[in-house]
Amino acid sequence: MDILQIGIVIVVLLLLVKPAGSYIYHVFSNESNWTDRMFGPVEKFFYAVIGLRKRSGMSWKTYALSMMATNVVLVAVSYAVLRWMGGLPANPNGTGNMEASLSFNTVISFMTNTNLQHYSGESGMSYLGQMIVITMMMFTSAASGLAVAIAFMRGITRRGDGLGNFFEDFVKAHVRVFLPLALIVTLVLVGLKVPQTLEPTVTVNTLGGAVQHIAMGPVASLESIKHLGTNGGGFFGANSSHPFENPSPLTNVIEILSMWTISAALPYTFGRFANNRKQGWILFSAMMVLFLAFLSLTYVSEKSGNPLINQLGIDASQGSMEGKEVRFGVAQSALFTAVTTAATTGSVNNMHDTLTPLGGLAPLAQMMLNVVFGGKGVGLVNMLMYAILGVFICGLMVGRTPEFLGNKIESREMKLIAVAILAHPLIILAPTAISFLTHLGTDALSNPLYHGLSQSLYEFASSAANNGSGFEGLGDNTVFWNVSTGLVMLLGRYVSIIALLAVAGSLSRKKPVPESIGTFRTDTKLFAGILVGTVLLIGALTFLPVLVLGPIAEFLTM
Partner 1 sequence: MNGKRKSMLTGSIVKQALKDSFIKLNPVVMMKNPVMFVVEIGTFVVLLMVLFPGYFNTAGRTGFNLAVFLILWVTVLFANFAEALAEGRGKAQADTLKKTKKESTANKCVGSEIIVVNSTELRKGDIVVVSQGEMIPGDGEVIEGLASVDESAVTGESAPVMKEAGGDFSSVTGGTRVVSDRIKVVITSDPGESFIDRMISLVEGASRQKTPNEIALNTLLTTLTLIFLIVVVTLAPIAEYLGVPLDIPVLIALLVCLIPTTIGGLLSAIGIAGMDRVTQFNVLAMSGKAVEASGDINTMILDKTGTITYGNRMASEFIPVGGAALAETAHWAAVGSLKDGTPEGRSVLELMNKQQLAYDTEVAAGGEFVEFKAETRMSGIDLQDGRHVRKGAVDAVRRWVLAQRGSIPEDLAAKSDAIASEGGTPLAVAVDGKIYGLIHLKDTVKPGMKERFEQLHQMGIKTIMCTGDNPLTAATIAREAGVDEFIAESKPEDKIAVIRREQAEGKLVAMTGDGTNDAPALAQADVGIAMNSGTVAAKEAANMVDLDSDPSKIIEVVAIGKQLLMTRGALTTFSIANDVAKYFAIIPAMFMAAIPQMKALNVMGLGSPLSAILSALIFNAVIIPLLIPLAMKGVRYKPMSSARLLARNLTIYGLGGVIAPFAGIKLIDLVVHLWI
Q: How far is the CB of 314 from partner 1 (least distance, A)?
A: 24
Taking the least distance from each CB to partner 1, the nearer of 342 and 445 is: 445
Whichever of 335 and 421 has its CB closer to partner 1, that residue is 421
Q: Is 513 in the site for partner 1 (CB under 8 A)?
A: yes
- Least distance CB 432 / partner 1 (angstroms): 7
The answer to whether 430 contacts partner 1 (rule: CB under 8 A) is yes
- Quick check: 234 and 244 in contact, CB under 8 A? no
Instruction: Name which position in 194, 343, 389, 490 contacts partner 1 (CB under 8 A).
Output: 389
Q: Closer to partner 1 at the Cβ: 4 or 541?
A: 541
The minimum distance between CB 162 and partner 1, in angstroms, equals 19
Q: State whether residue 304 is helix, strand or coil.
A: coil
Of 7 and 475, the one with the shorter C-beta distance to partner 1 is 475
Interface with partner 1 (CB under 8 A), residue from 453, 491, 528, 535:
453
CA distance 83 to 102: 10
Q: Which of 150, 109, 349, 384 is nearest to 253 (CA)?
A: 349
Piece of 238-246, 249-257, 497-505, 525-533 that binds partner 1 (CB under 8 A)? 525-533
Residue ranges in 432-451 that form contacts with partner 1 under rule CB under 8 A:
432-434, 436-437, 442, 449-450
- Say which DSSP state 350 is in: S
Which residues, numbered 527-556, are part of the site for partner 1 (CB under 8 A)? 530, 533, 537-538, 541-546, 548-549, 552-553, 556
Task: Name the packing angle between helices 479-508 and 100-111 (round to 10°).
Answer: 30
CA–CA distances in Å: residue 407 to residues 286, 403, 513, 515 = 21, 5, 6, 10
Query: Which residue in 359, 254, 265 sits closest to 8, CA to CA?
Result: 254
In whole angstroms, what is the distance from residue 404 CA to residue 389 CA?
10
Residues 163 and 161: their CA atoms lie apart, in Å, by 6
The Cα–Cα gap between 366 and 554 comes to 19
Residue with Cβ nearer partner 1 (117 or 279): 279
Helix/strand/coil percentages in the chain, nearest 5: 65, 5, 30
Work out how close the CB of 384 gets to partner 1 at its nearest, in angstroms, rounded to a whole number: 16
Q: How far is the CB of 477 from partner 1 (least distance, A)?
A: 22
CA distances from 538 to 30, 387, 425, 500, 544 (A): 36, 12, 11, 18, 11
SS3 19: helix
- What's the min distance (Å) between Cβ of 102 and partner 1? 26
557 sits near partner 1 (criterion: CB under 8 A)? yes
Instruction: Give me the sign of the Cα torsion angle 379, 381, 387, 392.
Output: negative
Interface residue with partner 1 among 129, 518, 523, 551 (CB under 8 A) is: 518
| Per-residue mark of binding to partner 1, 393-412 (x: CB under 8 A) | xxxxxxxxxx---x--xxx-
Binding site for partner 1 (CB under 8 A): 389, 392-402, 406, 409-411, 413-415, 417-418, 421-422, 425-426, 429-430, 432-434, 436-437, 442, 449-450, 452-453, 511-514, 516-521, 524, 526, 530, 533, 537-538, 541-546, 548-549, 552-553, 556-557
